[in-house]
Chain A
């Protein structure tokens, strides 16, 4: 991606994310009282984060690829199941992935 595009990602993301926050503080409560809208809104982070896990862990460009990252993800999952704190989860994934990367 070209430098101007990267700046545009930074600026647009910041502007939109702030605008959303401000809208929340401005609109009357009843506007978002619709239960259907609330359900969708509650599910969006779950769907997006799930997609981001696989898109970052199992995809290279437009191909599904299994490599060292999956080993890291598996260890992260084990750490989460063992109720490890967040930094340990990320760190253990990074160390595992790096090991597999170098051994490979």
Chain B
């Protein structure tokens, strides 16, 4: 395509491929948590928001209840609502297209769309749709590969899968720690989660940690 949109297309595709490839880690984590290959693929097709998917299978893997798993995943997904609020006036779509836009509203599609602002509204829209669709395709392909791979490998610990999951969470967390204030929030959250671990049923400390966000966010400034 020889158009002024070339840089946007390049941005969208490179993000799609790199983020999508990381679906391997999800597929593997999901199977290691005890979900079937089919269930792992359905997560990526239907939930389609990485951090929430990892949270759901992570809580299940650590022996938490179904309710804890669902709550952790849902709470992590709340940021997508804020993305939707920003994307809706840009995309201006209705009906089936709005449903599709909502499903593709994730960190990456919103991030690429916003980063195209200097290139104009058309580039922002293109960035959203192309990144959303691209991540969707690659994320699902790589989830299947990861799930099949993990199934073939057997014992998760023998292949380091049990460390790959927290490392993935750390990798998701890291780019968000832009200020020293946010790093303090992360450190306090980690300490809090460890502190309440012996006293609460498995999985619940993760949900309880949102209290840290609530208290600090409420009081800050």
Contact = CB atoms under 8 A, between A and B. Distances in A.
Interface of A: 1, 5-10, 12-14, 16-18, 20-27, 29, 31-32, 36, 38-64, 68-69, 71-73, 76-77, 80, 85-87, 89-99, 101-102
Nearest to A33: B85
Given A6-B66, A32-B82, 4 more contacts: A13-B74, A44-B79, A52-B54, A54-B194
A46 B185 contact: yes
B98 to A, nearest CB: 6
B121 interface: no
**Residue from B46, B176, B209 with most neighbouring chain A CB atoms (10 Å):** B209
B130 interface: no
Contact of B78 (A14, A20, A26): A20
Contacts of A68: 157, 160, 162-163
B205 A6 contact: no
Given A6-B35, A40-B214, A94-B163, A23 B70 contact: no
Interface in B115-172: 157-172
Given A13-B43, A14-B43, A68-B163, A50 B173 contact: yes
A48 B212 CA distance: 9
Nearest to A7: B39
A37 B33 CA distance: 34
Contacts of B74: 13, 16-17, 20
Contacts of A41: 78-79, 82, 217
A16 B77 contact: yes
A62 B186 CA distance: 21
Contacts of B113: none
Contacts of A87: 18, 21-22, 24
Given A27-B85, A48-B209, A68-B157, A93 B163 contact: yes
A58 B158 CA distance: 17
A17 B47 contact: yes
A89 B44 CA distance: 21
Contacts of A6: 34-35, 39, 60, 66
Residue among B76, B161, B163 with most chain A CB within 10 A: B163
B149 to A, nearest CB: 12
B166 A69 contact: yes
B206 A52 contact: yes
A23 B99 CA distance: 10
B96 interface: no
A8 B25 CA distance: 22
A50 B189 contact: yes
Contacts of A80: 170-171, 174
Q: Which of B48, B51, B160 is most buried by chain A, counting CB atoms within 10 A of its CB? A: B160
Interface in B181-204: 182, 185-187, 189-190, 192-194, 197-198, 200-203
B128 to A, nearest CB: 12
